[in-house]
Structure 1
Amino acid sequence: MRIPILKLYNYLLTTIQVELDDQTAIQFQDDLLKKIHETGALGVVIDLTSVEIIDSYIAKILGDVVNMSELLGAKVVLTGIRPAVALTLVDLGIGLKGVPTALDLEQGLEKLRQELGE
């Protein structure tokens, strides 16, 4: 299963609406990094509204996606993080310090525009 990644101006938008398993998470990581490279996107909004829980491996992949995206020059904003997901990320020490967050996709796009000075 592939998670859709949409391009909107200089941004990429993705909303994870499936239960993440290891293979889907790795495929998402690969797809997103390729899309950033191909499009030269300046920012990415990853919407996690439908993600109810994550395990340690998926949490690590998510942290890696954020770090790798920023290495490619794309600022990442996470939206829709549920309490259980936030708790897992903090408990596992996944380093998302400095990563902007927002409640929903609309606020995430606005936050991304602010972060990029647009």
Structure 2
Amino acid sequence: MKTSKIPILKLYNNLLISIQWELDDKTAMQFQEDLLKKIHETGATGVVIDLTSVDVIDSFIAKILGDCVNMSKLMGATVVLTGIQPAVAITLIELGIELEDIHTALDLEKGLELLKELED
């Protein structure tokens, strides 16, 4: 069984993911699979994906990221994206990636606080 190079940590009922490098297509697809599997296994209701270290993304990675958010929602988990760099935000919008009702925060700490507020 392949596992992602991206660690997915569980904290209470949440999953924390900090992407520390630019993603290639293969890693992104494996991450998507691993994330969905982890939500299923743990019953997590919240996911924070920290993108602070990601400076640029291409159209395929942007699509995978959007798919991760939407698939997680289908599985009952609220997703918060944190640390979005300006170039990444521009790319997501220019590519028309659908991130309806997406929650965002400036950093990981604020993302966790937001998840807690949304649960209450």
Structure 2 segments unaligned to the other structure (5+ residues):
none
Corresponding position of 1:75: 78
Pairs within 5 Å for 1:19-98: 19-98=22-101
Structure 1 residues 64-107: Cα deviation after superposition (integer angstroms, max 9, x where no partner): 00000000000000000000000000001111131110000000
CA distance in 1, matches of 2:71, 2:119: 18
Matched, 1:14 2:9: no
2:115 is the alignment partner of 1:112: yes
Taking structure 2 as the reference length, the TM-score comes to 0.95
Measure the CA separation in 1 of the matches of 2:119 and 2:81. Answer: 15
* Structure 1 CA distance for aligned equivalents of residues 60 and 96 of structure 2: 12
Secondary structure at the aligned position of 1:53 is classed as coil
| Displacement after TM superposition at 1:19 (Å) | 1.4
The residue type equivalent to 1:115 in the other structure is L
* TM-score, normalised relative to structure 1: 0.97
Deviation at 1:24?
0.5
Cα distance in 2, alignment partners of residues 50 and 97 from structure 1: 23
| Aligned length in residues | 117
Unaligned stretches of 5+ in structure 1? none
Sequence identity percentage: 72
Task: Give the Cα separation in 2 of the matches to 1:38 and 1:115.
Answer: 22
Residue 36 of structure 2 corresponds to residue 2 of structure 1: no
